[in-house]
């Protein structure tokens, strides 16, 4: 089974970007940990980061029919993007929305997400470990679906 992980804008700067909010790990560290965890459980995992909304939409279109589950941190596009929401709606797969920070305890504009009502679930505010928690949940959901 194939899990797609999408990262939105500025997440390529993790480790350097506001480390007091987003932590010290780089995106490379996070992606490597996700890939290792997925492959040791027998799952295939692909990752993609872009600062461009259309590139994220293209990636979701290309993945149509090819993936079984999607993890996404849409970053700033969380609060703005109907286009990424619509591209996710192409997929009839479980979807988990991840935020490193607790978007509900920051500026008011961050507490609205265009994805929360279409996601299977959300993990927010638990730091980079939220990605691994989301992956564990996704693998469990996909395993349950098989039985
Ligand atoms: C974020 C929260 C967003 O509000 C912000 O624009 C990000 C990262 C998070 O992971 O906490 O870039 O999605």
Here the CATH number for the domain that contains residue 115 is 3.40.50.9100
**What is the residue with the minimal CA distance to atom 6 of ligand 1?**
76
For residue 122, list its beta bridge partners.
97
CA of 98 to the centre of ligand 1 (A): 9
**What is the residue with the minimal CA distance to atom 7 of ligand 1?**
75
CA of 71 to the centre of ligand 1 (A): 14
Tens of pLDDT along 62-99? 999 999 999 999 999 999 999 999 999 999 999 999 99
Q: At which residue do the structure tokens 């929401």 appear?
A: 85
Separation of alpha carbons 42 and 44, rounded Å = 7
Average pLDDT over residues 20-44: 97
Hey, CA dihedral for 8, 10, 14, 20, is it positive or negative? negative
> Is the per-residue pLDDT at 47 higher than 90?
yes
Tens of pLDDT along 95-145? 999 999 999 999 999 999 999 999 999 999 999 999 999 999 999 999 999
> Is the per-residue pLDDT at 147 higher than 80?
no
pLDDT of residue 146: 84
Q: Please list every protein residue whose CB sits less than 6 Å from any atom of ligand 1.
A: 10, 73, 75-76, 78, 99-101, 103, 110
What's the chain's length in residues? 147
- The domain in which residue 54 lies consists of 2-146
Was 21 annotated as part of a binding site? no
Question: How many other C-beta atoms can be found within 10 angstroms of the C-beta atom of residue 65?
Answer: 9
pLDDT of residue 53: 98
Was 104 annotated as part of a binding site? no
Q: To test ligand 1's pocket by mutation, which of 9, 110, 125, 129 has the most ligand atoms within 8 angstroms of CB? A: 110
For residue 7, list its beta bridge partners.
49, 73
Structural domains in the chain (count): 1
CA of 92 to the centre of ligand 1 (A): 25
pLDDT of residue 35: 98
> Is the per-residue pLDDT at 15 higher than 80?
yes
- Which of 107, 50, 102, 58 is closest to 77 using CA atoms? 50
């Amino acid at each position: 089974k194939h899990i797609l992980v999408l990262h939105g804008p500025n997440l390529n700067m993790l480790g350097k970007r506001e480390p007091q909010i987003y932590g010290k790990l780089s995106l490379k560290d996070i992606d490597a940990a996700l890939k290792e965890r997925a492959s040791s459980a027998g799952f295939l995992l692909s990752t993609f980061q872009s600062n461009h909304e259309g590139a994220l939409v293209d990636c979701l279109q290309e993945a149509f029919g090819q993936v079984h589950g999607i993890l996404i941190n849409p970053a700033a596009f969380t609060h703005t993007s109907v286009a990424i929401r619509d591209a996710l709606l192409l997929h009839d797969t479980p979807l988990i929305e991840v935020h490193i920070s607790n978007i509900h305890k920051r500026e008011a504009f961050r507490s609205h997400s265009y994805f929360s009502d279409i996601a299977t679930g959300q993990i927010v505010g638990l730091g980079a470990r939220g990605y691994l928690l989301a992956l564990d949940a996704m693998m469990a959901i996909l395993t349950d679906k098989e039985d």
